[in-house]
Amino acid sequence: MTDVAAFSFNKLVIFGVGLIGGSLARALRERGERGEAAGARTVIGVGRSPASTARALELGVVDETAALGDDVALRAALSGADFVLLAAPVAQTQPLLERIAPFLDTNTIVTDAGSTKSDVVAAARAALGVRIAQFVPGHPIAGREASGPDAALPDLYVNRNVVLCPLPENAPEAVERVAAMWRATGACVRDMTPEQHDRVLASVSHLPHVLSFALVEQILNSPDAALKFSFAAGGFRDFTRIAASSPEMWRDVCVANRVALLDELDAYTAVLARLRAAIDAGDGAALEAVFARSRVARSEWQEQRTNAAALGDASK
C-alpha cells in the first residue's frame, strides 16, 4: 500500500466540476493548502458548460479552468498532469477520452468516477487502444441528491467506499497511486471486477433510484396527485429523496448497466408479486414474516454502519 504521507502530486485535471469531481478537487486542494502530503498543487477544471467551470473557479473548487473545445487550453491543461479524473455522466466516457487522448502525456494516469464500470471499460478500450494501461477504472460510492459545483464538499468521501476495478494492463503502481489519491480524501478503497461492481451497484443503488423515481411518477399520473402530495410525510420524504437526483446521470446509468439492472428489477418484481398475492389473500402471517426479516436485516445493517463509522472504517 502506498503510504499517503509519502505520496504527492502537482497537477490534477478534472473533467466535470460538479458534486463528484468538485468534492475530490476541494478535498485535495485543502490538503495542499494545509501543506499536507497527497495534496494537489494545481487542480484544473474542464467542463462542457462555461457557467459551471466559471462557478467552480469562483467558489475556489479549482485553481484554473479550460474549455473542452479549446485545443490550446486543453493541451496546456493536460501537459504534465499527474492525474486525470473523468467525473461526467458515463455516456460521455468515450467521447471525452477520444478528445483527451491526443494531448495525454505517457506518464499521466486517467481514472474515472462513473457509477457503472463494464461500459466504461469498453468505452476506454475503444478510445485509448494500446494506451489502455493508463486508465484505472474507479467509482467513489458517495452522493447527494444535489448536483453542480455548489454541492461539492471537501469531506464527501470521508469513510466512504471507493471501488477500483483494475485492468490486467494496469501497472500495479498506477493502481496504487489512484488508491492513494482516494485514501487521501478519507475514503476506503476496495477492489472488484467490473462485472461484480455492476451487479452489486445495480442492486443497492441503481434499482432503488428507479423505484424512487417511479413512485413520484405514479403519483403525478394519478388524478388526485395534489391531495396525495399534501399528505406525504416522513416516510415518503426519505423514500423519494433520491428521486431528486440528476436525470441525465441516472438515464446514463440505466442504459449503461441495462443487463444487471434488468436482472435486479425482475427479481424485485417477483418479490412484489409475492407480496401482492399475500396482501390479496389477506395472508398476514406471510407479510409479517417478510417484514420482520427485512426489519432485522435493515437494523443490523444500520448498526454495523454506525459502528464502522465510529471506527472510521468505510468497509463495513
180 binds a second copy (CB under 8 A): no
The DSSP bridge partners found for residue 136 are: 111
Nearer to a second copy among residue 72 and residue 280 (C-beta) = 280
228 binds a second copy (CB under 8 A): yes
DSSP secondary structure string for all residues of 113-142: --S-SHHHHHHHHHHHGGGGGGEE-EEE--
H-helix or E-strand spanning residue 189: strand 188-191
Q: Which stretch binds a second copy (CB under 8 A): 39-47, 129-137, 166-174, 230-238?
A: 230-238
57 binds a second copy (CB under 8 A): no
The DSSP bridge partners found for residue 109 are: 83
Show contacts with a second copy in window 132-161 (CB under 8 A).
Answer: 141-144, 160-161
Q: Are strands 83-86 and 161-164 parallel, antiparallel or unpaired?
A: unpaired
Q: Which stretch binds a second copy (CB under 8 A): 2-10, 17-25, 104-112, 275-283?
A: 275-283
309 binds a second copy (CB under 8 A): no
Nearer to a second copy among residue 60 and residue 284 (C-beta) = 284
How far is residue 14 from each of residues 22, 26, 65, 73, measured CA to CA in Å?
8, 11, 9, 14
Interface pick for a second copy out of 105, 248, 309, 313 (rule CB under 8 A): 248
Interface pick for a second copy out of 291, 309, 311, 312 (rule CB under 8 A): 291
Q: Which stretch binds a second copy (CB under 8 A): 27-35, 54-62, 75-83, 261-269?
A: 261-269
Place of cell 477544471: 45
Q: How far apart are CA 102 and CA 90, in angstroms?
A: 21
219 binds a second copy (CB under 8 A): yes
99 binds a second copy (CB under 8 A): no
Nearest alpha-carbon partner for 7 in 39, 35, 34: 39
